[in-house]
């Protein structure tokens, strides 16, 4: 602005950043009095906002042990409500949220408004994108049942093996690992638990087996997001964390298949199928180890699961147990069934799940995500919460992202749309099934929204930091307890990604203090977290919704709890050995990570995203057309599913 008419402006123009709302305002600096007044007013506004913000307190009792005990009250309540009282999931979640708010307000001094807004922020995330995945995934399964196509799937699997132990390996472990690697966030449990129940599994076992089977792939789920986030927070290269996790989890991957069969059928019957368990677990573990160590965190689950499926199916062509095993309440097995359908009909029945796999795998590609987000991505601040909590001097953001197109649930929705003509369903039938699906999921949706709200209260109040600091206070014993910290984080949030975001930096600092390479502890958080997935109320809500056990969350929690603790203990022992005994197993890595310019990365992603997206829809269209062409439509057997349509 000129000082006098006809003269150039005095001074310069620059961008003044206002941290509280991240706006950039142009301010002219010169000799003009209005400029000084404007800057002063802005600074005063900033000071008032900072004065209104609440600073987290991480040791409110003055003793870290006592503070951790107080912070743990809502967590202890959840364990008591689910394991001891067998309370319905939604009531247990409501009680936990209530206690979390009370502890945050009374012990931590958090303003009640902020506590409620934190719960609201979490509930929004629970509804979308988490519940969006569950609704769309179960819609495809329910439509398959309604149209009779699932009868073909059951017969095709029974022609390979009618043995429940081996079916669990193929579906819960191998196929579930593929879905975890491609989509994560509840998709594998929602799909595989529904499929096992539809095959005739005892619903409790179907839910429990799928939750435990999901242990091996979680660390590399959703195209490696948990490890990528751990790298971003800790400053350790992604590849180094991937290598360390890839030198820990393959041991569990070999163990889990045999563990599942013994869990289902008992020790004696489980050992009968050890050759198939070994083929299933070893093929997965070998590829998981190789890809995690030499390719990074993006593809271990997808490549390992494909290898496992191929190896198990090929092995069952030449080997089968002498006698097939079914649950005691089922009819006596008559051996493998004869395939009653043509190859084209089998392909058509499986086509919806093939299309689903194509879409969820494609949606995990960063360039496709970037392309979709460029078309539609809405972000808005949670008014009254955003930047109103200070972690030290750093404001904590509260921004909700509505990535409607790039969400994994939308990928599954597109798969469902393509599946409607494949299954021979009309629009009316599809809409009726969709409505029935949403209606049956109302309580699980409520439960998941509450549980994630619970996790957000812990994060914004500082209670999660208190628990982390209490674990870190164990000193040289911390390597053993590090997996339990990840386990606790996943129990609270239902997400290995969130657990890594909470605790990765803490592991780095603690590792430096006790003389243990931080990559061991950061990887331990991830590896231990996978064992907490099976007891997370969020995961259990997904499993109950898929098996029609809503209200029986406590039974599933009791079913999985002892296995969760045992497997986490195994990881703790392994991490302790890595830290102090077999240190040669620790990867060599560059301690300084160069930042990648976000803008350049986004530009690269956008360049190929549209092309990949076009190819994805083209492939889905080709599968749809070919399945309709070669698969003669079967007569639907409506009402066959006693789980979702009765």
Give tens-digit pLDDT for 436-472: 989 888 888 888 888 888 888 988 998 888 888 888 8
What is d(CA 204, CA 531) in angstroms, rounded to the nearest whole number? 19
Confidence bin at 9 (pLDDT 50/70/90): very low
What does residue 388 show for φ and ψ, rounded to 5 degrees? -95, 0
Which residues 6+ apart lie within 8 Å of 241 measured at CB?
Answer: 227, 230, 231, 234, 297, 519, 522, 523, 526
| Distance separating alpha carbons of residues 217 and 224, to the nearest angstrom | 10
Q: What angle do CA 249, 255, 261 make, to 5 degrees?
A: 140
Residue range 528-571, pLDDT digits in tens:
998 998 988 888 888 888 888 887 888 889 889 999 999 999 99
Q: What's CA 192's distance to the chain center, in Å? A: 15
Please give the Cα distance from 56 to 226 (Å, whole number). 26
- Give the least confident one: 218-222, 242-246, 314-318: 218-222
Which residues, in sequence order, are CB contacts of 179 under 8 Å at separation 6+? 187, 188, 191, 192, 357, 360
Cα 284 from Cα 279, distance rounded (Å): 8
Residue 479 Cα to chain centre, angstroms:
24
Asked which of 230-234, 304-308, 400-404 is least confident by mean pLDDT, the reply is: 230-234
Q: Is 359 helix (H, G, I), strand (E, B) or coil?
A: helix
149 near 634, Cβ under 8 Å? yes
**Most confident of the following: 8-17, 113-122, 401-410:** 113-122
Cα–Cα distance measured from residue 45 to residue 20, given in angstroms and rounded to the nearest whole number: 10
Tens of pLDDT, residue by residue over 248-287, are 999 999 999 999 999 888 999 999 999 999 999 999 999 9
How much is the pLDDT for 311? Answer: 94
**Whose CA is closest to 167, among 118, 134, 210, 226?**
210
In whole angstroms, what is the distance from residue 507 CA to residue 224 CA? 20
Query: Where does the pLDDT of residue 3 fall: very low under 50, low under 70, confident under 90, or very high at 90 and above?
Result: very low
Q: Is the pLDDT of residue 144 over 70?
A: yes
Rounded CA gap, 116 and 457, in Å? 8
**What pLDDT, on the 0 to 100 scale, is given for residue 7?**
42
Across the chain, mean pLDDT equals 83
Give the residue among 214, 213, 223, 215 at the shortest CA–CA distance from 181.
223
Band (335; pLDDT cuts 50, 70, 90): low
H-only helix segments in 161-266: 164-168, 176-182, 187-199, 203-213, 221-234, 238-246, 249-265
Residue 15 has pLDDT above 80, yes or no: no
Q: What does the pLDDT average to over 582-603?
A: 64
Q: How far is CA 351 from the centre of its chain?
A: 25
pLDDT in tens, 244-259: 999 999 999 999 999 9
Rounded to whole angstroms, the Cα distance separating 601 from 529 reads 29
Q: Return the structure tokens found at 8.
A: 């150039």
Q: How confident is the model at residue 95 (pLDDT cuts 50, 70, 90)?
A: very high
pLDDT at residue 641 in the model = 41
3-state secondary structure of 395: strand
Angle, helix 478-493 to helix 442-461, in steps of 10 degrees: 130
Q: Are 620 and 415 in contact (CB under 8 A)?
A: yes
Give Cα separations from 159 to 108, 332, 334, 340 (angstroms).
60, 16, 12, 9
Q: Which residues pair with 54 in a beta bridge?
A: 389
What integer pLDDT is reported at residue 259 of this predicted model?
92
Residues 99-103 have a mean pLDDT of 96
**pTM of this structure:** 0.76
Q: Are 212 and 568 in contact (CB under 8 A)?
A: no
Query: pLDDT value at position 333?
Result: 63
- Find the mean pLDDT for residues 604-631: 87
Query: What proportion of the chain, given as a percentage, has pLDDT over 70?
Result: 86
Mean pLDDT (whole number) for 203-214: 89
Helix (H) or strand (E) holding 278: helix 274-294
Give the percent of the chain with pLDDT over 90.
Answer: 36
What are residue 552's phi and psi, to 5 degrees?
A: -110, 25
DSSP 175: I
CA distance from start to end of the chain:
75
Domain boundaries, the chain: 12-52, 64-630
- Only one residue has tokens 């095993």, namely 325
């Amino acid at each position: 602005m000129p000082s006098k008419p006809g003269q150039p402006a005095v001074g310069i123009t620059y961008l003044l950043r206002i941290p509280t709302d991240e706006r950039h305002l142009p301010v002219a600096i010169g000799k003009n009095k209005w400029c000084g007044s404007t800057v002063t007013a802005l600074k005063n506004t900033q000071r008032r906002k900072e004065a209104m913000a609440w600073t987290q307190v991480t040791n409110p009792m003055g003793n870290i042990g006592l503070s951790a005990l107080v912070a743990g009250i809502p967590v202890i309540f959840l364990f008591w409500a689910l394991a001891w009282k067998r309370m319905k999931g939604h009531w247990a979640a409501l009680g936990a949220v209530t206690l979390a708010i009370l502890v945050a307000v009374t012990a931590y001094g958090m303003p009640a408004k902020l506590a409620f807004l934190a719960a609201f922020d979490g509930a929004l995330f629970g509804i979308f994108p988490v519940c969006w995945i569950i609704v769309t995934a179960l819609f495809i399964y329910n439509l398959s049942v309604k149209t009779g196509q699932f009868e073909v799937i059951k017969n095709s699997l029974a022609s390979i093996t009618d043995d429940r132990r081996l079916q669990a390996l193929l579906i819960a472990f191998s196929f579930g690992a593929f879905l975890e690697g491609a989509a994560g966030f509840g998709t594998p449990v929602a799909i595989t638990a529904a499929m096992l129940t539809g095959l005739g599994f005892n619903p409790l076992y179907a839910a429990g087996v799928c939750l435990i089977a999901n242990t091996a792939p979680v660390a590399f789920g959703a195209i490696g997001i948990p490890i990528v986030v751990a790298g971003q927070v800790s400053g350790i290269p992604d590849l180094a964390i991937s290598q360390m996790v890839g030198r820990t989890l393959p041991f569990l991957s070999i163990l889990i298949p045999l563990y599942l069969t013994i869990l289902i059928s008992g020790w004696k019957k489980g050992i009968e199928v050890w050759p198939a368990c070994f083929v299933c677990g070893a093929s997965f573990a070998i590829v998981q180890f190789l890809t995690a160590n030499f390719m990074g965190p993006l593809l271990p689950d997808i490549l390992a699961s494909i290898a496992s499926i191929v190896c198990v199916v090929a092995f069952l062509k030449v080997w089968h147990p002498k006698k097939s095993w079914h649950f005691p309440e089922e009819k006596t097995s008559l051996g493998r069934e004869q395939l009653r359908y043509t190859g084209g009909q089998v392909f058509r029945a499986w086509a919806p799940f093939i299309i689903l796999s194509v879409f969820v795998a494609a949606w995990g590609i960063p360039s496709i995500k970037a392309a979709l987000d460029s078309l539609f991505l809405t972000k808005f601040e949670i008014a009254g919460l955003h930047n109103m909590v200070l972690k030290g001097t750093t404001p904590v953001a509260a921004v909700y992202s509505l990535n409607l197109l790039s969400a994994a649930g939308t990928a599954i929705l597109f798969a469902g749309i393509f599946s409607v003509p494949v299954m021979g369903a009309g629009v009316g039938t599809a809409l009726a099934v969709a409505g029935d699906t949403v209606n049956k999921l109302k309580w699980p949706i409520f439960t998941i929204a509450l549980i994630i709200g619970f996790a957000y209260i812990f994060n914004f109040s500082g209670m999660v930091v208190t628990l982390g600091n209490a674990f870190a206070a164990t000193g040289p014993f911390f390597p053993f307890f590090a997996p339990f910290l990840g386990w606790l984080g996943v129990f609270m949030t239902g997400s290995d990604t969130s657990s890594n975001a909470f605790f990765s930096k803490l592991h780095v600092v603690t590792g430096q203090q006790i003389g243990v390479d931080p990559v061991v502890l950061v990887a331990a958080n991830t590896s231990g977290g996978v064992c907490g997935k099976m007891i997370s109320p969020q995961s259990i809500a997904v499993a109950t919704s898929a098996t029609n056990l809503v209200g029986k969350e406590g039974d599933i929690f009791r079913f999985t709890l002892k296995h969760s603790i045992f497997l986490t203990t195994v990881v703790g022992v392994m991490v302790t050995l890595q830290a102090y005994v077999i240190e040669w197993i620790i990867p060599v890595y560059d301690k300084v990570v160069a930042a990648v310019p976000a803008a350049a990365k986004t530009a690269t992603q956008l360049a190929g995203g549209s092309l990949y997206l076009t190819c994805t829809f083209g492939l889905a269209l080709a599968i749809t057309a070919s399945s309709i062409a070669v698969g003669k439509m079967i007569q639907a057997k409506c009402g066959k599913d006693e789980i979702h349509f009765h």
